[in-house]
């Protein structure tokens, strides 16, 4: 799991705050090695894994109060 951070306006705190969210990093090097060893058979699984990962991102949350931006 990784942590992304960004600065933004929190409507709950009514101030500029740091926002963060949890993201899952796709292990591209590992997928590349498996794809090479299996002569490309792993490639559809790698693509599916990357697509599903992009859909499952957590919402941004204020680091101070935990609210989500509107």
pLDDT by position in tens, the chain (length 70): 688 899 999 999 999 999 998 887 778 899 999 999 999 999 999 999 888 877 877 889 999 999 988 7
The partner residues of 4 in beta bridges, in order of sequence, read 21
Q: How many other CB atoms sit within 10 Å of the CB of residue 19?
A: 20
């Amino acid at each position: 799991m990784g942590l992304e951070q960004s600065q933004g306006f929190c409507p709950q705190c009514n101030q500029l705050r740091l926002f963060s969210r949890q993201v899952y990093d796709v292990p591209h090097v590992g997928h590349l090695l498996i794809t090479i060893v299996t002569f490309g058979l792993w490639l559809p699984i790698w693509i599916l894994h990357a697509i599903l990962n992009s859909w499952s991102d957590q919402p941004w949350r204020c680091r101070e109060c935990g609210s989500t931006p509107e």
